[in-house]
Amino acid sequence: MENWIIYILNGLYFASFLFLTSLGLSIILGVMGILNLAHGSLFAIGAFMAAWIVGAFGAKAPITIFVIALLAALGVSGLMGLLLETSIIRPMYQRALEYQLLITFGALLLIEDLIKMTWGGTAYYASKPFDIMGNLVIGNNQYPLYFLFVILITIMAGIGVWFIMSKTRIGIMLRAISMDREMARAMGIRIRKLNTLAFGMGAALAGLAGALIVPTTPALLGIGMEPLIMAFIVVVLGGLGSLKGALVGALIVGETRSIGIVFFPEIELPLLFLIAVIILVSKPQGLFGR
Amino acid sequence: MAEKKIGRRQFIKTAGTAGIGLGAAGILGSSVKVRKATAAQTRSIPKTPIKIASVSFLTGAAAAPFGIPGDNAYKLCAEEINKNGGIMGRKIELKSFDEAGGADAQVKLARKFILEDKVDVILGYISSGNCKAVLPLSDELGGLIIAYDCGTHVLMEEKRSPYKVPKYTLGFRSSAHLGIDNIGLALYIKQYYPGIKKVAAINPDYAWGRDSYLVFETAIKELVPGVEVVKALWPKLFTTDYTAHISALIGSGAEVIHSALWGGDAVTFTKQAIGMGLFKKARMAYSRGEPYPQEVGMDYPEGQIICCAGTHYFLYPPTDKWPRNKWFVEEFQKRYNKYPTYPCYHAYQAIYTYKAAVEKAGALVGGWPSKEEISQAASELSIETPSGILTIGEDHNGREDVLVGISKKVKGYPFPILDPDRMAIFPAHQVNAPAGIRTEDWINSWKA
């Protein structure tokens, strides 16, 4: 039983990153119809930003500095999202999907080079917050409190996004755009501004996920690739543009991976794709897609 | 449990026997060949510098633990050689290049080095994939290439034993392959933990991880009869979350866990495993784990079995008994504020293998030797390095002893070091397959 608690917690921890990353991807895809291949690079910016801040200033008060680093990562990635949207994404709205893929892939390469120019090609370590938070004892097992911290932050971020999307005027307008873009325009919604905002919000969530991961793994070039691939699986599973879909998709992928590694280690990744295939065959629009 | 301290006598015995025996055989054997191969005895020595292209990961996951330290060691050695008059009076002009970009990019770069830049030698490659892609160019394009750090045992081996050696006339690897690491680990476990019943493994899911595990599994089953592999995990390269793997390993009940994880993956796994208490229940056996205690610091757990990819360690051979290691460690530390790790020693081996081969061939031909003559001189060559004695076999592959130890916190060091009382050196003949015989075939023949 204790082992099962740990397996479930492992799944929740991994699902947290997937949720934050795929939520951003899903908002961008749902509201703007843009398939953003550079989303993993925005995750990487958050990771490098946080690792750099914690590494440079976190010796004395790592938790306080880490909280500042989380906010900074969120802000810088969000800002980068705004810049991307206004400069190279905006002319792509009316273009075919292949143009979007091409331009966002170009953005991915551009951001990777930008990271290399800013932080160099070496690893950044920021493990202090993970080290000092200590562990929770569960029977014969121990579980790092930092992992629970990540789950908590993700829940808070998820509630925040839900609140914005469900209860605020901006959120209602964003949902209107995602449902029917032309009708929303006809109703006088300023689509251009809201597109920029949605892209910035999605980017900021990716940056937050990146920042949360660096206390347990060094920030390295290419750190955003794994989350990007996983986030695509989640978005496809959960359905495009759906907050609920991102949440359920992330939970399915996180828990399947966690339990799959324990019992079927040779097919860790194929298992996820198998589930994706089954869901897509039975429900092509994803679990909560329209 | 038999515990063994490496004393002066044992060290001199191991290094000396290997050095004198292999050295004499190597130098004599290859010099005869060169003499036979060369008719002209006097030649001019070019006035231009020797062009060396060194290729290591300068960006990406392998940069911090391997590429940058390796590249730093190249620079240190090239400066040292130049300070002492160069190679046969010619100074070295060393240029560093990034190994990132994949095998295709490296093949293009190597072609450029050989055909356009006309470099004298390429010293490079950490990735086994890059080594496998680039080394065939040596004979195809007529360029001397010395692979310095990549570990796959299949680089110089063929599909069936016995096979013809060398595989490449102008292609070398100046270090031993992953066979020594994984056989060394199995021998160490047999020596210090003979009663173990359950082992597990976590290795990256590509050739490096699969090959390392294959050799370890074959060796441990031969050496410790009755041992059971209870779990073998294959995370993707650059995995950021190992929590599920760690839980699976804890649940397996394994006593020792084999791993060839490297770079950021090894650090990530270690950090997360500390948090989840894995090291209280099992001990790791890292095939090339030597750099990570220094990388992780005091949090690195005690009691982990660590192999050094040879006898490459800043405390071995003891610096008071082996001046070359004393010089190397002190110079490296002075310049880069870190102890040299095994890729640094590998870089030393590559550049000094080239130097020794040129000087040996040069002395025989009476001037600057051709690439073919350098190649003949390098085959079965033995040189003194900071780690002891390195021999290049007739298969053009390095043959080295291997050092395995166990991590321990010792006063005066900011990270756990290898316990000086529990280091074990396994001599080259015990961990390297004979030239022309595949490593797996050789291990499988042990019983017979």
Structure tokens at A86: 């206004």
Q: Which residues contact B413 (CB under 8 A, 6 or more apart)?
A: none
pLDDT score recorded for residue B32 = 42
**Packing angle of the helix pair A145-167, A191-213 (nearest 10 deg):** 170
Is B275 in contact with A146 (Cβ distance < 8 A)?
yes
Percent share of chain B, pLDDT over 70: 91
User: What is the per-residue DSSP string for A71-110?
Assistant: HHHHHHHHHHHHHHIIIIIGGGTTS-HHHHHHHHHHHHHH
A172-186, B62-76, B106-120, range with greatest mean pLDDT: B106-120
Cα–Cα distance list, B289 to B185, B216, B275, B279 (Å): 11, 15, 19, 15
pLDDT attached to residue A250 = 96
State the pLDDT confidence band at B26, using cuts at 50, 70 and 90: very low
* Nearest CA among A244, A253, A267, A187 for reference residue A10: A253
Provide the pLDDT confidence category of residue B41 given band limits of 50, 70 and 90: low
| Residue A290, pLDDT score | 65
For residue A130, what is the nearest residue in chain B, using CA coordinates? B275
Model confidence over B387-415: pLDDT tens digits? Answer: 999 999 999 999 999 999 999 999 999 99
Region B233-250: what's the mean pLDDT? 94
Q: What is the ipTM of this complex?
A: 0.90
> Least CA distance to B264: which residue of chain A?
A218
Backbone angles phi, psi at A36, to 5 degrees: -95, 100
CB A289 within 8 A of CB A240: yes
Average pLDDT over residues B238-247: 94
The nearest alpha carbon in chain B to A145 belongs to: B275
Top-confidence range, A227-236, B10-19, B111-120? B111-120
Q: Which residue has the higher pLDDT, A182 or B340?
A: B340
- What pLDDT is stored for residue A288 in this prediction? 86
Could you report the per-residue pLDDT of A1-28, keeping only the tens digit for each?
A: 788 999 999 999 999 999 999 999 988 8
Domains of chain B: 18-176+320-399 (3.40.50.2300), 179-308+401-444 (3.40.50.2300)
pLDDT, tens digit, for every residue of A211-256?
999 999 999 888 998 899 999 999 989 987 788 999 999 999 999 9
* Contact list, B201 vs chain A (CB under 8 Å): none
Mean pLDDT of B118-138: 97
Q: Which residues in chain B are closer than 8 Å to A227, comparing Cβ atoms?
A: 240
Residue A157 near residue A20 (C-beta atoms within 8 A): yes
pLDDT band per the 50, 70, 90 thresholds, residue B12: very low
User: Which residues of chain B lie closer than 8 angstroms to A143, CB-CB?
Assistant: 275-276
What pLDDT band is residue B27 in, cutting at 50, 70 and 90? Answer: very low
| Residues B42-57: tens digit of each pLDDT | 789 999 999 999 999 9
- Give yes or no for residue B36 having a pLDDT over 80: no
Angle of helix A225-238 relative to helix A268-282, nearest 10 degrees, comes to: 30
pLDDT tens digit sequence for A190-213:
888 999 999 999 999 999 999 999
Across the interface, of B58, B233, B250, the residue whose CB is closest to A261 is B233
Closest CB to B234 among A17, A123, A266 = A266
Average pLDDT rounded to a whole number, residues B240-259: 96
Q: Which tens digit of pLDDT belongs to each residue from A118-163?
A: 988 778 889 999 999 999 999 889 999 999 999 999 999 999 999 9
* Domain layout of chain A by residue ranges: 19-223
Collect all residues of chain A within an 8 Å Cβ-Cβ radius of residue B253. Answer: none
Percentage of chain B modeled with pLDDT above 90: 85
Model confidence band, residue A92 (pLDDT cutoffs 50, 70, 90): confident
Q: How far is B264 from chain A (nearest CA, A)?
A: 6
Residue B4 reports pLDDT greater than 60: no
Query: Mean pLDDT across chain A, nearest whole number?
Result: 91
Query: For residue B327, what are the contacts with CB-CB under 8 A and spacing of at least 6?
Result: B386
Distance from CA of B347 to the nearest CA of A (A): 19
